[in-house]
C-alpha cells in the first residue's frame, strides 16, 4: 500500500512539473502616463518637466506666504522686480532680479531647483543640499544676507518662479533686522 501511495504521489509531481505553461504577453505599456511623461524634458502639454497635462500632477512644495508677483518686500518697503536672469554658471542654480534700490540673488546648492523641496535659507555663500542663500543689495541698507526663511520653486511652461517666505536679515548700516518676502520668475 505504501508503494502504491508513493507511486501515485511521484506521478502527480512529475505531471505537475511537465505541464505546459501558457505565458500571456502583456498588451500595451505598463506606464501609467504618456511616453513623453518620463523623458526629463518639458514637452507635450506638460506644465513642468514630466508633470501636468496628460502626465501626472506636479508635486510642488507649497509656499507658506503669498507675496505679490515680481515683488520684494524689505521691512515695510515693497519694490517691483525687473531684469531677471537664472541659470547654473558654477554648478549651483542662481536667480537674480533688480529693483529701483538694488538687486536680489538666490542661490541653491544644486544645478536645478527641486520643486518638491522647501529650501532652508542659510547665511552662507555656499549653500548645501536643500539650502538657499539669499542676498539683497540695497543702497540705503547695505547688503542684507538672509539668515532665516524658506525659498520655494515652481516651474510653469519652462519658467522658474522663486518665492521667499519668512526671511529675516540684519543691516549693519542701520543696526536693524528686516523681514523679507518676495516672488519673481525668470525664463
What's residue 5's pLDDT?
56
Nearest to 69 by CA among 58, 79, 57: 79
- DSSP label at residue 51: B
Number of neighbouring beta carbons within 10 Å of residue 143 = 14
Taking 70 as the threshold, does the pLDDT of residue 7 lie above it?
A: no
User: What is the Cα–Cα distance from 174 to 171, expressed in whole angstroms?
Assistant: 6
Does position 167 have pLDDT exceeding 90, yes or no?
A: yes
Identify any residues that bridge with 29 across adjacent strands, giving them in sequence order.
none
The whole-number pLDDT of residue 18 equals 56
Look at residue 181 in the predicted model and tell me its pLDDT.
96
State the DSSP code for 67: P
Cell of 82: 525687473
In this predicted model, what pLDDT tens digit does every residue of 52-96 receive, in sequence order? 888 888 888 889 898 989 999 999 999 999 999 988 877 789 999
Q: How far is CA 89 from CA 97, 152, 182, in A?
A: 16, 20, 23
- Do 77 and 99 meet the contact criterion of CB atoms below 8 Å apart? no
Give pLDDT, residue 17: 54
- What is d(CA 171, CA 178) in angstroms, rounded to the nearest whole number? 8
Q: What is the number of other CB atoms lying within 10 angstroms of the CB of residue 145?
A: 17
Query: How much is the pTM?
Result: 0.72
Q: Residues 23-59: pLDDT tens digits?
A: 445 555 567 888 888 887 778 887 777 888 888 888 8
Q: Are strands 118-121 and 102-108 parallel, antiparallel or unpaired?
A: unpaired
**What is the structure's pLDDT at 22?**
53
pLDDT (tens digit, 9 = 90+) per residue, 133-163?
A: 999 999 899 999 999 999 999 888 778 899 9
Q: What angle do CA 157, 160, 166 make, to 5 degrees?
A: 140
Q: Average pLDDT of 97-106? A: 94
Q: How far apart are the first and last CA of the chain?
A: 85
Amino acid at each position: 500500500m505504501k508503494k502504491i501511495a508513493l507511486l501515485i504521489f511521484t506521478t502527480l509531481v512529475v505531471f505537475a512539473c511537465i505541464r505546459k505553461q501558457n505565458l500571456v504577453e502583456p498588451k500595451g505599456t505598463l506606464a501609467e502616463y504618456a511616453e513623453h511623461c518620463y523623458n526629463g524634458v518639458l514637452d507635450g502639454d506638460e506644465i513642468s518637466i514630466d508633470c501636468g497635462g496628460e502626465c501626472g500632477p506636479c508635486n510642488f512644495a507649497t509656499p507658506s506666504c503669498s507675496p505679490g508677483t515680481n515683488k520684494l518686500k524689505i521691512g515695510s518697503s515693497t519694490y517691483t522686480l525687473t531684469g531677471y536672469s537664472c541659470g547654473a554658471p558654477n554648478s549651483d542654480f542662481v536667480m537674480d532680479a533688480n529693483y529701483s534700490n538694488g538687486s536680489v540673488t538666490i542661490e541653491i546648492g544644486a544645478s536645478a531647483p527641486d520643486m518638491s523641496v522647501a529650501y532652508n535659507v542659510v547665511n552662507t555663500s555656499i549653500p548645501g543640499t536643500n539650502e538657499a542663500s539669499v542676498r539683497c543689495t540695497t543702497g540705503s541698507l547695505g547688503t542684507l544676507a538672509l539668515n532665516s526663511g524658506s525659498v520655494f520653486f515652481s516651474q510653469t511652461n519652462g519658467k522658474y518662479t522663486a518665492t521667499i517666505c519668512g526671511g529675516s536679515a540684519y543691516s549693519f548700516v542701520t543696526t536693524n533686522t528686516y523681514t523679507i518676502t518676495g516672488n519673481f520668475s525668470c525664463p
